[in-house]
Structure 1
Amino acid sequence: MILLQANNVMRRFGADVLFHDVNLQIQEHGRTALVGRNGAGKTTLLKMIAGITSPDEGTIAKSKDLTIGYLAQDQGLDSQNTIWAELDLVFAPLHKMEKQIHQLEDQLASLDPSTRKFQLTTEKYSQLQADFKKRGGYEYESRMRGILKGFGFEEDDYQTAINSLSGGQKTKLALAKILLQSPDLLILDEPTNHLDMNVLAWLEDYLKSYQGALLVVSHDRYFLDRVVSDIYDLDNHTLRHYTGNYTQFMEHKQEWLTAEWKHYEQQQKKISKLEDFVNRNIVRASTTKRAQARRKQLEKMERLERPETDDKSIHFRFYSEKDSGNEVLDVEKAVVGYNDQKLAGPLSFTVRKPQRIGIIGPNGIGKSTLLKSILDRIPLVSGTIKLGANLQIGYYDQEQQQLHPEKSVLNEVWDDHPNIAEKDIRSLLGSFLFVGDDVYKLVHDLSGGEKARLELTKLSFKPINFLILDEPTNHLDIDSREVLENAINEFNGTVLFISHDRYFINQVATDVLDMNALGIKHYEGNYDNYLEAVNKEKATNANQDESQTTTTKPKKSSAQQSYQQSKETQRARRKLQRRVDKLEEEMTVLEEKQEAIKEQMSQPEIATDIGKLSDLQKKLDKFTTQSEDVELEWTSAAEELEKFDQENS
């Protein structure tokens, strides 16, 4: 059954069209995502579907009596009530029924059972009780407790005034309230903001079993992979539908784009041939009729549009001028906090070149404080931090306090590099999508996404061999997150980062540090590897049979198995690719050394010195042998990579 249908919807902003010819269907029990670049119009479309605004053209039809719950991005509860009292308002109709039930009970107690009035009152009482039970009258308190616990609120928090909470807590409560309302269609705009990983996992499971339909906008690709089953892509001012989760959508979109280009190019070749025939033969008496026939064929032809996508994307890389030592960071029994007030610890761990380590843990536990202590911006309560030799540190601050609010975008970068020409600064800014007059915007007028791009701009401009990132994917759209992932994977230095973006951690991490108030624990691999290890630990702690512990694995659906296999394949390929790239770099270095020696040997003062020539020849022979060995190793690695691609294509 179709709950909601958008037909040929359009939205204009002045003379510009934000989107057009938008067609969308929401099925009963559907799990639908709306994706697209920042600024494509996703939130605008959600508001139309929710009935808050109307389209400039087209229609949005809804099934009879459809109830819709809409949660805007970062929309928190604004209330003078306590947490429990505010959420309890959802069940006001049940409270009214409950009051009526008690009133009828009092009436029945005072009536003679043999009277007609007693019989009618009893029937009314029974019907009201049945309705009360059907609507969840005996379960609403347990539902409230379950949802509050899922969002990280304990019973001690229930009587806390909402206006005393943080913005993130208010947003979680707004989401909790709308879930309790259980509308037929739940519309959520970036619901995963401010949620730590435990809450995210709970929310994903809750939404998968939700009885109504779901329409969601999210940049959290892991969330989309776990929850949704079809995706609408708002791209190039219109909407296209794909079946599957996010990973499957990306594959299908690439297949569609490849096919569209093939059809377009085939038609262009056909048009070119027809036009060439017409131009050569239209004036010749013997062939003019055939030329006229081909001209008519051209006129009747329905020409395909050139396939286009919103391909504006940042592009950059991190670079280093020198290698760090192998020992990058040693943290020993560190206790982090403010003004001697402990947040977490003792924490002990090491970072070695070229690890890419992700730090995870509950919100507010002190992860950002730990990074600032490593950078000597906040002193430790106790313990030691030792940085390695030859470090060039680059730091991304999620609070973006390193940016000067009164500076322009151009001066924010140029003031740090006054000797570089303005055109070169503007060229770099252009690669981060700051073009034209954008470079004159003041920092305090920028959006969160623009500030994130500006901070990455500054990082890409300085030499770095140790990159420290605090929630770098916040405010970035999906395309920009993927560009950042590529930049980190191509970076030959060391990376230490905090992130709640599980998809991002899967793409870049070689290790995970799980931090809590009492310590920090190291796990090898990415986020999926971390989950697997934690599940094994839980099984062991439950004292299950040893054979069961080693052989039993959590049951996975075919979709989960396919997703897991895809992730493992991607990890294996990246490992092979890194080996090939490393050997190519070694070959280049050895070739440069050989050329340098040959240049020395050709100099007149050395060419006549047999002793120096002999020494240089020995060095040249040594580098030549090394180069041949590396080339053989590279050939083997390249063949292995090619074979891998063939087997997994």
Structure 2
Amino acid sequence: MHLVATDLAFAYPGRPVLAGVDLRVSAGVRLGVVGENGSGKSTLLHLLAGDLVPSSGEVRRTGSVGMVEQELTAPPGVTVGDLVDATLADLRRLAADLEAAAAAFDHESGDLAELSTLLSRAEHLAAWDADRRVDEALTRLGAVRDRDRALETLSVGQRYRVRLACRLAERADLLLLDEPTNHLDDSGLDYLTETVVGWHGGVVLVTHDRELIDDVVTAVYDLDPSMDGVPVLYGQPGYLSYRFAKNQALQRWKQRYRTEQQRADELAFRLDRSYEGLSDEWRPPKGSQKHRRGTRARIHVKAADRLVEKLKAEAVDVPPPPLELAFPDLPALSPGWDPAEPLVDLRSPRVESPDGGVRLDLPGTRLAVPPSGRLLVVGPNGTGKSTLLGAFAGTLPLARGTRTSSEGVRIGVVGQEGRVPDGGADARRSSESGFDAYAAEALALLDRGELDPEHLVPVAALGLLTEEELDRPLRELSVGQRRRFDIALALLHAPHLLVLDEPTNHLSVDLVDALTIAFERTSAAVVVATHDRRMRADLAAWPVLDLG
């Protein structure tokens, strides 16, 4: 057994996060952890890794642990080579110890059991093969292989792929992955799937990727609220099986709650009638056994009180209504526009980096999206999808080519790396509440003439974040909750055109399903770049631009 968590609970100051967590992970188990953004998925991984101390309960681990977080900080001066060396240090030390022990072994008096233990451990981890494995992983994941490249010069996705490659090469007994598919293209996804399926130890992975759940996961652990108040383990593999079982459980919970409410209403009515029997208006006139009638009424009241108390003791909590996406009614056109004219027309774009390097060069290419149009942009990492979307949305300048747009067109943009700071990049903004940041964005759009006050979309009406979450500083939100806020900012001014770069990154599986449906149904034009295999299949009828 590699990992056992018993009655685990954790709370941040004033905010409970997890309770009643019980799970076991042994070799061959690949546990998928799901749940709404903010339900504690990343916190659970840190508890399992030993980075956080639980409020109650315990975690028992045997063997080594390797964890890949959603975001990797980049200390100044640290290079790709430094990260590789730090990750593989223990394996290299083990290989060196084995080599030294074998060279110095005395066949007459040496401890053969000690040497055998060291050899067995080295074989288990294939310690002498670590450098080849990390080089292969960097290549297969499309990660930066230049050992001298500083991590701070890499994008979030590039840093993540370097860290993931190192951890996969490390071959820990317990592998903990937080949204491992966020920054991978098809080739990287194939390598990740192949590696995790063949993992020699146990795996716990937080994921929104429905295809990965189908291909890899042996059981699903759902942190969303349940009727019993504890997380639920769904042992049947496959996303559709999990979804069916969860929907059935939720329906049973709601039905029981409706039954309890009906019983409570009936008993309350009986209690009211019984209390009325004790009032002066109910009492009979003199000589008609009023004391006997009053005694009977008191008996009825006591019986009703006992039933009400019994009901309260046995009642279930109200099913917390899961956040349901309320996608706004976005416009296709503004008055006076020609429906045959494209909202944005981009031709022969070339985008250069500040140092003069070429980020994107598509001579002879035209990208035009009409009102209510659709476009799916695909291709491997490094082919320029994000740069193309930036040029199309007007957020990146063109070194060559032209971009024209309809006068007054409103564009909502969701970038791959997001706009909401986590606290370091912009301390002032990250300390604002969601409501305050949303109001500031609205005022900025209004100043630029990009917001019609009559079309303002209220953030609390979207079903992306609760009012309690919107009242908290942005830096206190989880990565997934900040991603939800990014989507809300894109919808604020009721755009005619949505441009979304990897919109499923960091989101819960429930929201990914809801967003896919919304993209298909909205009247606004939508351009999506995504590696999400299930989303690409769901949007297969859309026109496709393949940069590969």
TM-score (norm 1): 0.63
Cross-structure match for 2:530: 499
AA aligned to 1:411 is A
Q: CA deviation at 1:93?
A: 0.5
1:319 maps onto 2:335 in alignment: no
Among residues 409, 418, 441, which one is paired with 1:392 in the alignment? 409
Deviations for 1:217-265, whole angstroms, at most 9, x for unmatched residues?
2233333333212222222474222233344322221110111222232
2:38 touches 2:480 (CA, 8 Å); kept in 1? no
In angstroms, what is the RMSD of aligned CA positions? 4.5
Choose from 363, 375, 381 the match for 1:357. 375
Kept after mapping to 2: 8 A contact 1:34/1:233: yes
Residue 266 of structure 2 corresponds to residue 249 of structure 1: no
8 Å CA contact 1:334–1:385 kept in 2: the answer is: yes
- State the match for 2:432 in structure 1: none
Residue 342 of structure 1 corresponds to 358
Deviations along 1:411-470, one digit per CA (max 9) or x if unpaired, are 3214534899999968455535474895796x8998765665555445435454443223
Report the 3-state secondary structure (helix = DSSP H, G, I; strand = E; otherwise coil) of the residue aligned with 2:19.
strand
Report the Cα distance in structure 2 between the residues aligned to 1:438 and 1:274, rounded to whole angstroms: 38
Matches within 5 A, 1:94-105: 94-102=95-103
- The 5 A counterparts of 1:499-648 are 499-508=530-539, 510-516=542-548
Report the CA distance shift for 1:467/1:292 in structure 2 as closer, same or farther (over 3 A).
closer
Corresponding residue for 2:22? 23
Is the 1:464–1:493 Cα contact (8 Å) retained in structure 2? yes
Query: How far apart are 1:10 and its partner, in Å?
Result: 2.4
Residue 216 of structure 1 aligns to a residue whose secondary structure is strand
1:338 & 1:210 partners in 2: Cα distance?
A: 40
**Larger RCO (CA under 8 A, 6+ residues apart):** 2
Cα distance 1:138–1:28, how it changes in 2: closer, same or farther (>3 A)? Answer: closer
Shift in CA distance, 276/94, structure 1 to aligned 2, threshold 3 Å: same
The answer on whether the counterparts of 1:27 and 1:213 sit within 8 Å (CA) in structure 2 is yes
Where structure 2 has 5 or more consecutive residues not aligned to the other structure, the ranges are 278-292, 430-435
Within 5 Å, give how 1:133-212 maps onto structure 2: 136=126, 139-153=129-143, 157=145, 159-160=147-148, 163=151, 166=154, 167-212=156-201
**Separation in 1, partners of 2:477, 2:11:** 23
Task: Find out whether 1:306 has 2:337 as its counterpart.
Answer: no
Which amino acid letter does the alignment assign opposite residue 45 of structure 1?
Answer: L
1:204·1:226 contact (CA, 8 Å) conserved in 2?
yes
What aligned pairs does 1:244-283 form with structure 2 within 5 A after superposition? 244-273=237-266, 276=269
Determine the structure 2 residue equivalent to 1:39: 38
Asked whether the 8 Å contact 2:420–2:485 carries over to 1, the reply is no
Counterpart-to-counterpart distance in 2, 1:209 and 1:389 = 52
CA contact (8 A) 2:438 2:489 kept: no
Q: Deviations over 1:155-184 (max 9, x none)?
A: xx3643555762543432332232233222
SS of the equivalent of 2:518 reads helix
Letter in 1 for 2:498: L
Amino acid at match of 1:515: L
Q: Choose 1 or 2 for highest CA Rg.
A: 1
- Equivalent position of 1:409 in the other structure: 438
1:469 maps to which residue?
500
How much does 1:207 deviate?
A: 0.6
For residue 210 of structure 1, report the CA deviation from its aligned partner.
Answer: 0.8
Q: State the partner residue of 1:371.
A: 389
**Cα gap change, 1:180/1:433 in structure 2, threshold over 3 Å: closer, same or farther?**
closer
The number of residue pairs the alignment matches comes to: 497
Counterpart of 2:4, as a letter, is Q
Listed one character per residue, the Cα deviations across residues 536-592 of structure 1 (whole Å, up to 9, x for unaligned) are xxxxxxxxxxxxxxxxxxxxxxxxxxxxxxxxxxxxxxxxxxxxxxxxxxxxxxxxx
CA distance in 2, matches of 1:16, 1:87: 34
Determine the C-alpha separation between the residues in 2 that align with 1:179 and 1:493. 42
Q: Deviations over 1:41-65 (max 9, x none)?
A: 2222222222222222223344xx3
In structure 2, do the counterparts of structure 1 residues 356 and 308 end up closer, same or farther at CA, with 3 Å as the change threshold?
A: same
Q: What SS does structure 1 have at the residue aligned with 2:547?
A: strand
1:216 pairs, out of 205, 211, 214, with 205
Between the aligned partners of 1:235 and 1:141, the Cα distance in structure 2 is: 40
Seen in structure 2, the aligned counterparts of structure 1 residues 74 and 164 have a Cα distance that, compared at 3 Å, is closer
Query: 1:114 maps to what in 2?
Result: none
- Is 1:69 the counterpart of 2:66? The answer is yes
Indicate the structure with greater helix content.
1
Counterpart residue identity of residue 375, structure 2: I
Aligned partner of 1:228 among 214, 217, 223? 217
Letter in 1 for 2:331: Y
Q: What is the TM-score with the length of structure 2 in the denominator? A: 0.73
In 1, the alpha carbon distance for the partners of 2:296 and 2:86 equals: 88
Instruction: Report if aligned partners of 2:4, 2:24 keep a CA contact under 8 Å in 1.
Output: yes
Q: What do the CA deviations read for 1:112-156 (whole angstroms, capped 9, x no partner)? A: xxxxx76667989996996465653564454333323222258xx
Deviations 1:595-641 (A, max 9, x none): xxxxxxxxxxxxxxxxxxxxxxxxxxxxxxxxxxxxxxxxxxxxxxx
Is this contact kept in 2: 1:8–1:22, CA < 8 A?
yes
Are 2:10 and 2:17, in contact at CA under 8 Å, matched by a contact in 1? yes
Report the alpha carbon displacement of residue 351 of structure 1 after superposing the two structures with TM: 5.0
Is 1:240 the counterpart of 2:241? The answer is no
State the distance in 2 between where 1:456 and 1:138 align.
46
Which amino acid in structure 1 is aligned with residue 66 of structure 2? G
Take 1:51 and 1:122, find their aligned partners in 2: how far apart are those partners? 34
How far apart, CA to CA, are the structure 2 residues paired with 1:24 and 1:206? 23
Q: Is the 8 A contact 2:173 2:201 kept in 1?
A: yes
Partner Cα separation in structure 2 for residue 479 and residue 385 of structure 1 = 39
Q: Deviations over 1:373-422 (max 9, x none)?
A: 3345545555x557687893514051566999868431321453489999
> Any conservation in 2 of the 1:76–1:168 contact (CA below 8 Å)?
no
Read off the aligned partner of 1:303 and give its amino acid letter. Answer: E
Residue 375 of structure 2: SS of its match in structure 1?
A: strand
Structure 2 SS opposite 1:416:
helix
Alignment partner, residue 489 of structure 1: 520
Q: Which residue identity does 1:36 align to in structure 2?
A: G
What residue in structure 2 maps to residue 550 of structure 1? none
Contact 1:19–1:41, Cα closer than 8 Å, also in 2: yes
- Helix, strand or coil for the counterpart of 1:33? strand
Residue identity opposite 1:359 in structure 2: V
Shift of the alpha carbon at 1:515?
Answer: 0.9
Contact 2:393–2:413 (Cα < 8 Å) also in 1: no
- Quickly say closer, same or farther: Cα 1:206–1:55, change in 2 above 3 A: same
Residue identity matched to 1:372: G
